Amino acid sequence: VLQNLSQTPVLRELLKEAKVPGTTVKIESPELCMLFCFSFKQEPQLIKLDQPGPLTLAMHQFVTEMQETKKGVVTPKELFAQVCKKAIRFKGYQQQDSHELLRYLLDGMRAEE
């Protein structure tokens, strides 16, 4: 799940933008508009981003590390710790489904908007 998310160009760009509080993002592409536009108009949308939360910052850090070619092995310890704070069911390293992690991760980041 994390490898797939780290290779999603739209998410990478939004995480870069979200790292700087007060940034205004212009959403023009149909793919992004499908995610964020609340109307069916294809007009560009402007969204002002607030201070990113700890889960969003941890996701940004993880994606950045995944993109560094010289980094070697990347472990998502901080990201996992932040997910565990939002979804206590992940504490204890029990078996969990990947779609549950994806849901809690994306819902947690959205709640920080």
Give residue 54's pLDDT: 92
Backbone φ and ψ of 62, nearest 5°: -65, -45
Average pLDDT over residues 82-97: 82
State the Cα–Cα distance between residues 20 and 34, nearest whole angstrom: 23
Structure tokens at 13: 């760009």
**pTM listed for this prediction:** 0.73
Give residue 50's pLDDT: 72
Number of neighbours of residue 104 by Cβ within 10 angstroms: 18
Strand residue runs (E) in 13-112: 24-27, 45-48
24 strand-pairing partners: 48
pLDDT tens per residue across span 10-66:
888 888 877 776 777 666 665 555 555 555 556 666 777 777 889 999 999 999 888
CA 39, 40, 43, 49 torsion-angle sign: positive
